[in-house]
Structure 1
């Protein structure tokens, strides 16, 4: 019995990779018991399910966490913008070249968007360096060659597999994303985030959550859910 079980993942993986045509991955964002209306400061637990004809299925542990993305954007209420327009506006951010390059690397193992991890967050980096062309080139140099002592005693390894152009695209994304007050990105198949505390000048708005996965065949699937915040 144990031998039969151990062979199942190998057999199913082989079947998927032989003669399979590229298709858009199926992505499902699940918020559990969370309904569409939340209040300021609430915590939201989420999970993302991914199924791809070539890469496999998240329920079997076959989907790499670093290629699963949750983008979160808060949009203050505007009468002219309905949920569909808000979702479409958010989706545009998902196609940034720098973000795509980062998702194929180990960057998110040490760096978070607004959250400090082993290395500084994107928001800390953006606050220190700004978004000028000079800052992009400086940060790109650190990404390529590695750095030590700029933020802590922990050394950031070099990334010799990147070109100068690719490192500059990553740097541009980090500095742009880090400066966005009402946008967040998280990687992985599950997690928790907190709705921000109510801003003094805003009474209500919409959080647009977009889960996405880009397959090894460069096919992208996504699923969006709007949450009303009051």
Structure 2
């Protein structure tokens, strides 16, 4: 076990380490999906007919959830961008067939779906 005397470490170093640990924690958990969220996301994709065009691991009409997760991996704006894509729809990103808009889907529900997709669409 490492014991450190914090009185001998400059405050700026402690602040920097705390900030780095805080950012690292946010980065690791930003796309983490817990079991209850995965269950909710799966329910939402079924209710909103997402599975008619998407599957977890194979292209159907639209890309697989794993392909989406791979394309947007390490992109900080992915959550916002994909929530907007779900709500507004559009075409051209994955081919000519347009994705229908889902304007009635709440922002929270869209975020739940996107977080689940970006986490690799875990079963639970």
* Structure richer in helix, relative to its length: 2
Structure 2: unaligned runs, 5 residues or longer:
1-33
**Superposed displacement of residue 170, structure 1:** 0.8
Scaled by the length of structure 2, what TM-score is found? Answer: 0.64
| More contact order relative to length (CA 8 Å, sep ≥ 6) | 1
Unaligned runs of 5+ in 1: 1-91, 186-209, 211-230
Cα shift readout 1:178-210 (whole Å, capped 9, x = no counterpart): 5xxxx6x5xxxxxxxxxxxxxxxxxxxxxxxx9
SS across alignment from 1:137? helix
Residue 35 (structure 2) aligns with: 93
The equivalent of 1:176 in structure 2 is 119
**Cα offset, 1:155, TM superposition:** 0.4
**Cα-Cα RMSD:** 2.2
TM-score with structure 1 length normalisation? 0.36
> Matched residues in 1 for 2:98 and 2:65: separation?
17
Given the alignment of the two structures, is residue 126 of structure 1 paired with residue 69 of structure 2, yes or no? yes
Aligned match for 2:87, one of 114, 120, 144? 144
Question: Number of matched residues?
Answer: 90
Q: Which residue of 1 aligns with 2:60?
A: 117
Contact conserved, 2:57 with 2:66, CA < 8 A, in 1?
Answer: yes
Match of 1:163 in 2: 106
